[in-house]
Structure 1
Amino acid sequence: MSRAILLTVLIAGLIVFSSSSAAFGAQLDARINPNNAESPFKMNYQKTFFIEYPNGGQLFDELHQKTWTISGTADSSNPGVQHLIEKLNQNIADDGSQARISDLNVIYDIHLKGRNLNTSIDYKIIIEGTLTDYVITKDQVRTLIDLGWRGLSTNEKIVIDGVDINHPINLIQEEEPTLYNVLKGTEGEQIFNKKMIDADFILKQPLTNWHFLFDPTGINVDAGTFGLSEDISGFVVSSWTMGESSLREGRQVERVFEAEVTADQRYVFRSVQSSDQGNLYAIGFGALDVLDGVEIAGVTPKPPEGYATTSTGEFPIFIVYGMAAMAAIGGGAFFMFSNRALKNQQEGQQGIAPDRLVGYQTSSSSGGYQTNRGEAQLRDESDYTQTRSVYEESAPQETTTPPPTDASREEAACGCAASAEMGSECDCEMQGSCLCDATCGCAADVCKEHVSSMQ
């Protein structure tokens, strides 16, 4: 029963999870080529807000049937995008990095959907651009690249085509004044006033905690058969990823902020944002380091001699060999314990010795059929009470008929139809008839009458 309940809960959880859309936080995707002066990057910011009105009220009347979408794109020619580039570069410099953003495209999409119990507002902002000045120094052996620029955030008001894409509360004030009047001056207003362009956590998570892999496909002899780009031909590709719950990064959970506001009715305002994620790639084999408080990577065309691990440091190889050694030790201990326990057991025949048992037949013939069933008993019955069959106590007692005497045999010879060989007695009086001859000496009246009639 408990297994059925557990299975039902798991299936229900999968259905709910698969039917709900995730609200991702900041997602970084960048590919750095130390041989080029510029490299592309992409940052995705996403968050979902909920306005709940379980008891109806003014917001229910205003929002439950409403749906609208505000979206648009803009490039570096837009004044709002130029302002965003300026503020992002200022934030990068404040973090100690020398890298700069030279070009940027912005895509924004804001969607409101009203329902009977709540209204959701989905915010999505995507910025795609070009990163420059990330090479610190370069020689014939390796190239040092700057990785301290990845916290692309700003608190400033970013207005593109008349829409402040960075602070949702400003859009609420313009598009939904009734909702804004309920939020104004409350904790709910603080939830909607948090910045959207926020990647601070991606910078705060040290790169040494990110998962590191490198792909040596580019240095294979037959690498050309894989259709690889010329940028990675002859090189390995290093990658650092973050966003998974692990011993390195810790437990990653979604960020939820909630506030309850009482106006004409009780309303609940909540924002949901999943944990941040990052994918950072570099052409070459990257070894992490820190320079003046800024995280950097020393990149070489090929990995160091003898480097065979595929994760941060030599952690996986250590774990693999360590687990193998622990398994060997555990197996040896198990066999030693089993062998010792076996030696402590008694050897030889256990229970009653076979030479003390004797068999006897327990079935008799039935017509022409004879079975071969039997039982075993002790030769000496000193301990028979301990081993006797429990069926003997309930078995009915058999009665034996004493062998017939000579007188009875004579009476039986002139008695009833049953013969003396069958061991039956003459019962003429009860049967009312008798098969007798003239010599019968039976005292029964019916036999006397029958004998006299025969004479």
Structure 2
Amino acid sequence: MNKTHIIFLILLISTSSIHTVYAAQLDATIAKDSQEFVPSFQFMRVVTINHDGDSELYRLMGNNVKISFDIDKTNAPSLISQINSDLKEKSFAKITDISGTYSAIVSVQEKSIGIEYKITLNPTIQNHYVGDSDTLDSQWRGFAIKEKIPVNTIYGEYDINSPSSALAVSSMNVLDYLSGSDALAILETPLIDANGISEFPLSKWESMFDPTAKMSETVNFGFSGNVITNYSMGICTVYLGLCEDKRVYQEFSIDGEKYSIRLMESQDDATIIIEGYVNESQIGKVEIFTIQDSAPIIVKESDMQVITMYGMAGIGVGAAAVFFVISDRKIKRTSSVQTGIDPIHLESVPISSSAGGYQTNRGTSQLKQ
């Protein structure tokens, strides 16, 4: 019985989300009849170059370096137009302003060089409703930029879309040394890429109605006192699949010295909170959210969470029933079937037959001689 409970609890725990670091992470909140909203996009990556500890790369590398600065439309004038250029191919929405931050940490170890990137972009989005406030465009949720994104910084003009920019600031000699090698392709893979979020169909996202917004305190967050709908992707469960990191690995050599480079990102993650009862639909090839005042009837083939939970509970109850049936049979068998020494091998012996005693009708048994 205890083992059954333990297995059941493990299965339940396994269905919870497991989050670490994401390649692209989106968080957005959209109030009813809003004229604009400001989502947050985060782009994260880790690049590691390994060497044997006594290499030319290690000798060229300097000390640990942290690069950080703010981003807005004054020091990154082309960023808004670059994102809008990608969105116009699939979305009605338009970006009118932007802010954000950039950081890159270069860590020099005895046998490796690690670079951790984190970019946060907060675009102001308008034209997100299609026709009326009951139809909300969703294709703004993902975009990618393949070109250079120049930002005016204290380090000079800095391309935030290229991982190699961090090495150009920390050690230009290292970047020159790696040029022409297979490592450069990884160091030039663009960082701004959230297409995985828009390409993952809304019908496969997890959605849930939440009455929290009806509380008066939520007015401070822009809600008008209606139900909100929470859409989430990137949830890792036993029925949707476990989280899988994105990895790129490449071995290379320069002047006979062997190296390896690894790029690592976790899978994309997103949460979109919309005021009202929301369901997903399509206009042509454009995915949209439809908003209603009353709860719609939603049936998703992929929405197996409740079924899975009740199925697990049923398995637990069934296992418990089997356990009790087996235990009951063991008890009955124990009480009705003689076990131990066969009575034909025993003989009775009177009690207290010794001198000074007295005999009674009670007796005991012993093995026959």
Q: TM-score, normalised by structure 1?
A: 0.65
Q: Deviations over 1:237-260 (max 9, x none)?
A: 111112222367544311121212
Q: From the superposition, tell whether residues 93 and 34 of structure 1 become closer, same or farther in structure 2 (CA, over 3 Å).
A: farther
Alignment of 1:401-416 (within 5 A): none
Q: From the superposition, tell whether residues 291 and 363 of structure 1 become closer, same or farther in structure 2 (CA, over 3 Å).
A: same
- In structure 1, the residue corresponding to 2:190 is in which secondary structure? coil
- Structure 1 residue 268, shift from structure 2 partner: 1.5
Aligned equivalent of 2:66: 69
Paired residues, what number?
343
Distance in 2 (CA, whole Å) between partners of 1:67 and 1:197 is: 24
For the Cα contact (< 8 Å) 2:206–2:232, is it kept in 1?
yes
Amino acid across the alignment from 1:57: S
Alignment of 1:39-438 (within 5 A): 39-63=37-61, 66-78=63-75, 80=76, 82-94=77-89, 96-138=90-132, 143-161=134-152, 162-173=157-168, 175-219=170-214, 223-224=215-216, 226=217, 228-229=219-220, 231-246=222-237, 249-264=240-255, 265-304=257-296, 315-319=304-308, 350=338, 358-360=347-349, 376-377=365-366, 388=367
Distance in 2 (CA, whole Å) between partners of 1:48 and 1:284 is: 38
Amino acid across the alignment from 1:114: V
For the Cα contact (< 8 Å) 1:108–1:165, is it kept in 2?
yes
- Structure 1 residue 270, shift from structure 2 partner: 1.5
Q: From the superposition, tell whether residues 183 and 369 of structure 1 become closer, same or farther in structure 2 (CA, over 3 Å).
A: farther
Q: From the superposition, tell whether residues 361 and 179 of structure 1 become closer, same or farther in structure 2 (CA, over 3 Å).
A: farther
Q: Deviations over 1:370-422 (max 9, x none)?
A: 9x998525xxxxxxxxxx46xx6xxxxxxxxxxxxxxxxxxxxxxxxxxxxxx
Distance in 2 (CA, whole Å) between partners of 1:346 and 1:111 is: 71
Q: Deviations over 1:283-338 (max 9, x none)?
A: 1111111111111111123424xx699x9986445445556666777777888889
- Structure 1 residue 274, shift from structure 2 partner: 1.5
CA RMSD of aligned residues (A): 3.9
Mean CA deviation greater in 227-236 or 40-49: 227-236
Distance in 2 (CA, whole Å) between partners of 1:49 and 1:205 is: 25
Amino acid across the alignment from 2:260: V
Q: From the superposition, tell whether residues 255 and 90 of structure 1 become closer, same or farther in structure 2 (CA, over 3 Å).
A: same
Amino acid across the alignment from 1:71: S
Q: From the superposition, tell whether residues 333 and 176 of structure 1 become closer, same or farther in structure 2 (CA, over 3 Å).
A: closer
Q: From the superposition, tell whether residues 184 and 308 of structure 1 become closer, same or farther in structure 2 (CA, over 3 Å).
A: closer
Bigger strand fraction: 2
Relative contact order, higher structure (CA 8 A, sep 6+): 2
Q: From the superposition, tell whether residues 315 and 99 of structure 1 become closer, same or farther in structure 2 (CA, over 3 Å).
A: same
For the Cα contact (< 8 Å) 1:137–1:144, is it kept in 2?
yes
- Structure 1 residue 77, shift from structure 2 partner: 2.2
For the Cα contact (< 8 Å) 1:34–1:145, is it kept in 2?
no
Mean CA deviation greater in 164-173 or 46-55: 164-173
Which structure's CA Rg is the greater one?
A: 1
Q: TM-score, normalised by structure 2?
A: 0.79
Structure 2: where are the runs of 5+ without partners? 1-19
For the Cα contact (< 8 Å) 1:213–1:312, is it kept in 2?
no
- In structure 2, the residue corresponding to 1:136 is in which secondary structure? coil
Structure 1: where are the runs of 5+ without partners? 1-21, 378-387, 393-455
Amino acid across the alignment from 1:120: G
For the Cα contact (< 8 Å) 2:49–2:112, is it kept in 1?
yes
Identity of aligned residues (%): 25
Q: From the superposition, tell whether residues 230 and 160 of structure 1 become closer, same or farther in structure 2 (CA, over 3 Å).
A: closer
Amino acid across the alignment from 2:160: I
Distance in 2 (CA, whole Å) between partners of 1:349 and 1:331 is: 26
- Structure 1 residue 24, shift from structure 2 partner: 3.1
Bigger helix fraction: 1
- In structure 2, the residue corresponding to 1:87 is in which secondary structure? helix
Q: From the superposition, tell whether residues 375 and 103 of structure 1 become closer, same or farther in structure 2 (CA, over 3 Å).
A: same
